[in-house]
Amino acid sequence: MQALLTTARRVLLIGALALPFACEEDEEVSTAIIHPMLVSVSPEDFLGTLPCLDAPGAMRTYVAVLRHRGPADDDGVAGEHGYPQGVGGEGGAPAGIDPAESSPLLACTSTIGFGMVRPDHRYLADVYAFDRDDLELATPAGDLGPWDAPVVIDEATGDPVAPRWTTRCAAITARQAIVRRFHDCEPLTDHAPGGPAVVEVNLDTLAGVECGVSPGQIERFDVTGPAGVVSVACGETLTFEDLPAGQSLVMPVLAYEAGVAEATFGTTCTADVHAGVTVTASCDPLTDEGALEVDPAAAASALGLDCSTLAELTLQYDDAPPRRVLPSDCHRPVQFPGIARGVQSVSAVAMLSDGSTSGEAACTGSVVPAQRVVATCAAVP
The pLDDT assigned to 94 comes to 62
Domain boundaries, the chain: 2-190, 198-283, 289-379
Query: How sure is the predictor about 354, in pLDDT bands with cuts at 50, 70 and 90?
Result: confident
pLDDT at 210 over 80: yes
| Mean pLDDT score, 73-94 | 49
- How far apart CA 351 and CA 19 sit, in angstroms, is 69
What residues contact 32, with CB distance under 8 A and at least 6 apart?
Answer: 17, 18, 21
- How far apart CA 145 and CA 100 sit, in angstroms, is 6
* CATH, domain 198-283, list 2.60.40, 2.60.34, 2.40.50, 3.30.450: 2.60.40
pLDDT at 19 over 60: no
Instruction: Give pLDDT tens digits for 144-158.
Output: 887 789 999 999 999
The pLDDT assigned to 138 comes to 92
What are the residues facing 198 on neighbouring strands? 278
The pLDDT assigned to 46 comes to 97
SS3 track for 48-117:
CCCCECCCCCCECEEEEEEEEEEEECCCCCECCCCCCCCCCCCCCCCCCCCCEEECCCEECCCCEEECCC
Whole-number percent of the chain with pLDDT over 70? 84
Instruction: Give pLDDT tens digits for 263-277.
Output: 999 999 999 998 889
| Mean pLDDT score, 295-313 | 93
CATH fold of 289-379: Immunoglobulin-like (2.60.40)
pLDDT at 74 over 90: no
| Mean pLDDT score, 332-356 | 93
* Surface-to-core class of residue 284, CB atoms within 10 Å of its CB (0-12 exposed, 13-18 middle, 19+ buried): middle
- How far apart CA 237 and CA 229 sit, in angstroms, is 15
Q: Report phi then psi at 301, rounded to 5.
A: -65, -40
CA separation (Å) from 98 to 102, 117, 140, 142, 175?
A: 12, 9, 17, 12, 17
**When comparing pLDDT for 293 and 352, which is higher?**
293
The pLDDT assigned to 84 comes to 43
Residue 52, phi-psi category: left (phi > 0), alpha (psi -120 to 50), beta (remainder): beta
- 198-283 and 289-379, same CATH topology: yes
pLDDT at 333 over 80: yes
The pLDDT assigned to 22 comes to 38
- How far apart CA 3 and CA 44 sit, in angstroms, is 24
Instruction: Give pLDDT tens digits for 168-195.
Output: 999 999 999 999 999 999 999 999 887 8
Is residue 155 within 8 Å of 135, Cβ to Cβ? yes
**β pairing state of 106-107 and 112-114:** unpaired
Q: Is 355 helix (H, G, I), strand (E, B) or coil?
A: coil
The pLDDT assigned to 1 comes to 34
pLDDT at 6 over 50: no
Is residue 295 within 8 Å of 71, Cβ to Cβ? no
**When comparing pLDDT for 15 and 127, which is higher?**
127
pLDDT at 15 over 50: no
Count of CB atoms situated within 10 Å of the CB of 329: 13
| Mean pLDDT score, 347-360 | 90
